[in-house]
Chain A
């Protein structure tokens, strides 16, 4: 195993919606500056797991979380921890592109502005859009509505908006599921470029995508962690029958 300290870690994480369990005791470690893919059939708890890492589950009434989650060694559910502070360091890209109904420029500057960003906003916008591989397409129309962009461009704008906050971790929940293959390929390339700077945790139901872009993979099934490890090993040499069945497409 790798000796590097994990940036995110869970121990005995149990989550239920009302009385319906969604995650049944998962202990995982996510290492910095890697791409970790979370795979599994739909409804197995991938989104629920991902949304604990920036405490977005806080907004769901009747949700119950047990167990421990650490971010950089700090207990994320400690009563003194402000979830708002966590979300500054752990960004999120959603399944459907959800730009704000504002200009491209304002989409990027809003987050930093509310946290009283002191630097030059123009430079920040340029840097973030360049990192999200969107700059060349939008540099001449930064003040147009974000809704004028295509779906794939909107999703890259959402990534740029997350990058502008300079987070440590970027969570992505099936970021390509609403996009066509060409836009998907662009996002996959982008994830490859971002892995050196950020820790990325990506949920995907597309196994080829997980195999292409991730360093490590977690396989979830019915709220349980079945198998985890290096993506290559997990895909070429799964140790569990369920994993093999899933990655060879026998179910899910």
Chain B
């Protein structure tokens, strides 16, 4: 009987390993395929050129700047709202029907397809608020998209701060806002930052909502302010990849490599932050 149980465990373990390996192989072959196709056209110059109708002259400059702008603006909008909402829900709101209702809605919002946010952005920001196809409209749309993710990650980080820390603060005669601002939030910050970075890396990989609000794919200038039109990496890649000429597919692959590098760097930063603060946990 014991050997049977042991075998069952071993079988399960091997099944998990096999499935993990399969996933890795698929991922690896995709990356390999992209690398093979895109590495030859990848160069520093490629990052410095504007898009062009000739593939050998086209570059990512406007998309890189656009992504940078979008990322900063989205962070600027979504991070304060997200953290404040999480603080309110975890530290201030009494647990009643209303707060449970809000909680359920936030969780649901995190699961809504991004195209729906694109439609919302198009209706509200682009048309109704007359922002046009500007960085503002894009950043606001993406902020809506990542807000639930930031709220949920921050809530988890705040909830993980042990209660005795709050008690210690109160016992020293601190006001609740002092305990929250000076003890709870700093203790939760690594978790919050990790959530923020992961949410932002989700945002910069999104193309659907930005295409929906009409982000351009041919932008031959660098945006100079949040009111300017823009394009971003995934939109530019999408545009190149959907052209008939094969040589555009190659630079699309190069664009994907750049996007992957950006994403990888951001995830690395998230891991480093978590690692650096781990000893305080």
Which positions in A face B, CB cutoff 8 Å?
54, 56, 59, 61, 84-88, 91-92, 94, 96, 98-102, 110-111, 114-115, 145, 147, 158, 161-162, 165
- Across-interface contacts of A162 in B (CB, < 8 A): 171-172
Distance in angstroms between the alpha carbons of A92 and B164 in the assembled complex: 12
Distance in angstroms between the alpha carbons of A86 and B175 in the assembled complex: 12
Distance in angstroms between the alpha carbons of A87 and B187 in the assembled complex: 23
Picked from B162, B171, B178, the residue with its CB within 8 Å of the CB of A114 is B178
Chain B positions 187 through 210: 1 when the CB is less than 8 Å from some CB of chain A, otherwise 0: 100000000000000000000000
Q: Is B279 an interface residue (CB 8 A)?
A: yes
- Across-interface contacts of B162 in A (CB, < 8 A): 98
A56 and B170 contact, CB distance less than 8 A: yes
A183 → chain B closest CB, angstroms: 18
Chain A: CB-nearest residue to B183: A100
11 A-B residue pairs with CB within 8 Å: A85-B173, A87-B173, A100-B165, A100-B168, A100-B169, A100-B183, A110-B172, A114-B178, A115-B173, A147-B279, A161-B172
Distance in angstroms between the alpha carbons of A99 and B187 in the assembled complex: 12
- Across-interface contacts of B170 in A (CB, < 8 A): 56, 59, 87
Besides the contacts A87-B170, A165-B173, what 5 more A-B pairs have beta carbons closer than 8 Å? A98-B168, A101-B186, A101-B187, A110-B182, A145-B280
Cross-chain pair count, CB within 8 angstroms: 65
Answer whether A101 and B173 are a contact pair too, CB < 8 Å, given A114-B178, A147-B280.
no
- Across-interface contacts of B224 in A (CB, < 8 A): none
Distance in angstroms between the alpha carbons of A59 and B168 in the assembled complex: 13
Which positions in B face A, CB cutoff 8 Å?
94, 162, 164-165, 167-175, 178, 182-183, 186-187, 279-280
B164 and A94 contact, CB distance less than 8 A: yes
B102 → chain A closest CB, angstroms: 19
Distance in angstroms between the alpha carbons of A114 and B183 in the assembled complex: 12
- Across-interface contacts of B172 in A (CB, < 8 A): 87-88, 91, 110-111, 114, 161-162, 165
A101 and B171 contact, CB distance less than 8 A: no
A101 and B280 contact, CB distance less than 8 A: yes
A56 and B173 contact, CB distance less than 8 A: no
Answer whether A96 and B280 are a contact pair too, CB < 8 Å, given A56-B170, A56-B171.
no
A84 and B174 contact, CB distance less than 8 A: yes
Distance in angstroms between the alpha carbons of A150 and B172 in the assembled complex: 22
- Across-interface contacts of A92 in B (CB, < 8 A): 171
B173 and A84 contact, CB distance less than 8 A: yes
B182 and A98 contact, CB distance less than 8 A: no
- Across-interface contacts of B169 in A (CB, < 8 A): 100
Distance in angstroms between the alpha carbons of A54 and B178 in the assembled complex: 18
Chain B: CB-nearest residue to A88: B173
- Across-interface contacts of A59 in B (CB, < 8 A): 167, 170
- Across-interface contacts of B165 in A (CB, < 8 A): 98, 100-101
Picked from A61, A91, A102, A145, the residue with its CB within 8 Å of the CB of B171 is A91
B174 and A145 contact, CB distance less than 8 A: no
B164 and A96 contact, CB distance less than 8 A: yes
